[in-house]
Chain A
Amino acid sequence: RKEVEQDPGPFNVPEGATVAFNCTYSNSASQSFFWYRQDCRKEPKLLMSVYSSGNEDGRFTAQLNRASQYISLLIRDSKLSDSATYLCVVKLAGTALIFGKGTTLSVSS
């Protein structure tokens, strides 16, 4: 079983749509959780950290369920500029980031 698993995608949505990405992780000792965004042929960039209480940043909402070892990312009112690959990332204390394979989002006009 992979340490971090994501919806394979790709997700093709029209502008203005709401889209949700799901992710599960296998190590219950994971302590930190993130969503990174990666544009084609570029480096990953931190989109947002994910907290147990859930957190929101503009059109983006992240949720964490530790009991189910499940992380989600909701994007509302999708923009063309949201087209990218979204990487689910977990981290154990003091260790490196563990990435999922990524889910590709394509937003069309």
Chain B
Amino acid sequence: ETGVTQSPTHLIKTRGQQVTLRCSSQSGHNTVSWYQQALGQGPQFIFQYYREEENGRGNFPPRFSGLQFPNYSSELNVNALELDDSALYLCASSPDGQETQYFGPGTRLLVL
């Protein structure tokens, strides 16, 4: 097990709504990244946080935002949900100095 947990496991929302997804990493894992994986695709990088500061962002609009907290938990917030936001959302964490990222089980979001 990676020690990374995510909640909820599944979620159904309607277009225009807002959603918050949560991730809890292992102690000492100061870097957390969020990815979106659409059906049949590889994960796409959304953004990355290091010690509570965003330090990298992929090609996602500003309605995707995040937070990282001192207790190694983090959130992904998505506003104004669109049908194309339906996907598996993965968080991954890594300790300082390591390139390897450890993934949580993901949250499967369906937007109707």
Q: Are B56 and A97 in contact (CB under 8 A)?
A: no
Q: Are A43 and B33 in contact (CB under 8 A)?
A: no
What residues on A are CB-neighbors of B105 within 8 Å? 42-43
A59 in the interface (beta carbon within 8 A): no
Name the residue on A nearest B99 (C-beta).
A32
What residues on B are CB-neighbors of A94 within 8 Å? 55-56
What residues on B are CB-neighbors of A34 within 8 Å? 100
> For chains A and B in complex, what number of residue pairs have CB atoms within 8 angstroms?
51
A92-B101 Cα distance, complex, nearest whole Å? 13
Beta-carbon contacts of A18-51 to B below 8 Å, as 1s and 0s? 0000000000000010100000011111100100
Q: Are A46 and B43 in contact (CB under 8 A)?
A: no
| Interface size, chain B (Cβ < 8 Å) | 25
What residues on B are CB-neighbors of A41 within 8 Å? 88, 108
A91-B99 Cα distance, complex, nearest whole Å? 8
Secondary structure dominating the interface of A: strand
Given B55, B90, B100, which contacts A43 in the complex, CB threshold below 8 Å? Answer: B90
What residues on B are CB-neighbors of A32 within 8 Å? 99
A34-B55 Cα distance, complex, nearest whole Å? 22
Given A43-B103, A49-B100, A100-B42, 9 further pairs, Cβ under 8 A: A32-B99, A42-B106, A43-B105, A44-B90, A44-B103, A94-B56, A97-B45, A101-B41, A102-B41
Interface on A for B, CB 8 Å cutoff?
4, 32, 34, 41-46, 49, 87, 91, 94-102
Interface on B for A, CB 8 Å cutoff?
2, 33, 35, 40-45, 48, 55-56, 58, 88, 90, 92, 99-106, 108
